[in-house]
Amino acid sequence: MQTESKRETPIPLLVDLHTDALYEHIRGRKDITRRSDKGHLDIPRMREGGVNGQVFAVWISPTELKPGEYCDFALRGADAFDAVCAQSEGGVVPVRTPDEFRDVIAAGRIAAILGVEGGHALEGRLENLDRLYERGVRVLTLTWCNSNEFGDSSSDENKPHGGLSPLGRRAVRRANELGMVIDVSHSADRTVFDILDAGMSPVIASHSGVRARRDFNRNLTDEQIRAIAANGGVMGIVFLPYFLREPEEQASIEDVLNCIDHICQLVGPDHAALGSDFDGFEGALPGLEDVTRIGNIGEGLRRRGFAAGDIAKILGLNFLRVWDAVTSRAA
Ligand SMILES: [Zn+2]
């Protein structure tokens, strides 16, 4: 669909579009540089699972932080991200461009992309978008469970803006100019369509489910899936049991595979991806208990008869295509 796809990637990609592990690390609740059985993800377990591309989100908690502290926290998160990568002694390398991403993976290392989850990190000021970009942030999840100055959240019953605000429109366009990827996960239904309308570049939904399979506001409707695909974007399927099945106790890796299959049936194999949300939720999904099990998705897709080329797209090439497009369309 997109023609911006650049160099070949010699090593198969295994890319995850969203983890909150860095937030837990910043808060001192875990040390992701060391192996532990706590939560879902740390760097030694990423290596074991074969992940070679990871978006690390700095979540901006609107309850643990106050307005005025959000942007500073995002910048501190960037410092922590660099420190974690430095401690890994070359194992995990921060990347800011798709070409750096390719080089790091070709060298057998893990390429780490910095994201910010919650546009309230900008404190309502577009110049903070530039600040975060300069500090290395390449993915911005426009809302979290709270609506903010830019738009309505899927979890907010009030929907104060009726979608994207005029400032949100400008934020999306500025992000596009900079070459920052906009993430529509957590955005209200109307906000998603407004973002697609406002922007010039493809978007990601970094960690969402499929609403046709589980009726929940954090999941993508078929109309949204078609619109994001028409925009050239990609949707990372979340591993969070409650988003996948009700009762959630019955959820398993098969539900993740069903969501991927649903997207592929609806819009083809160019728009599905993985978006674990590891360490962003309690509990564990059977078959994908932690990052060491993430290879089970490729196996599951093979077992279901997916073509090898399509599996490679879902496991990473689709995301890389989007990032290439966002970068090459930046001003
Ligand atoms: Zn989230």
DSSP β-bridge partners for residue 94:
112
For residue 115, give the nearest of 31, 17, 222, 198 by alpha carbon.
17
Helix (H, G, I), strand (E, B) or coil at 216: coil
Residue 303 CA to ligand 1 centre (angstroms): 30
The answer to whether residues 238 and 244 touch, using CB atoms and an 8 Å cutoff, is yes
Separation between Cα atoms, residue 277 and residue 210, nearest integer Å: 15
Alpha carbon of 292 to ligand 1 centroid (Å): 21
- Identify the pLDDT of residue 11: 87
- How many Å apart are CA 272 and CA 262, to the nearest integer? 9
Compute, in angstroms, the gap from residue 108 CA to the centroid of ligand 1. 29
Residue 6: the pLDDT is 63
Cα 153 to middle of ligand 1, angstroms: 11
What is the spatial distance between Cα 316 and Cα 221, in angstroms, rounded to a whole number?
A: 23
Residue among 178, 39, 20, 17 at smallest CA distance from 113:
17
Q: What is the pTM of this model?
A: 0.96
**What is the CA(204)–ligand 1 centre distance, in A?**
13
Cα(331) to ligand 1 centroid in Å equals 29
Which domains, ranges and CATH numbers included, belong to the chain?
15-329 (3.20.20.140)
Distance in Å, CA 57 to ligand 1 centroid:
9
- 220 CA to centre of ligand 1 in angstroms: 14
From ligand 1's centre to the CA of 93, what distance in Å? 23
Cβ contact 256:284 at 8 Å: no
Give the distance (Å) from ligand 1 centre to CA of residue 298.
24
CA distances in angstroms from 278 to 16, 38, 155, 214, 321, listed in the order given: 9, 11, 20, 20, 23
Residues in the chain: 331
Q: What is the pLDDT of residue 3?
A: 44
CA of 19 to the centre of ligand 1 (A): 8
CB 141 within 8 A of CB 82: no
CA of 186 to the centre of ligand 1 (A): 7
User: Contact, 26 vs 114, CB < 8 A?
Assistant: no
Please tell me the distance between residue 214's alpha carbon and the centre of ligand 1 in angstroms. Answer: 17
Q: What's the Cα-to-Cα distance from 311 to each of 255, 264, 273, rounded to whole Å?
A: 17, 11, 9
Q: How far is the CA of 114 from the centre of ligand 1 (A)?
A: 15
Q: Along the chain (331 residues), what's the average pLDDT of each consecutive run of 10 residues?
A: 58 96 94 94 97 98 96 98 94 97 97 98 98 98 97 96 98 98 98 97 98 98 98 98 98 98 98 98 97 98 98 98 97 71
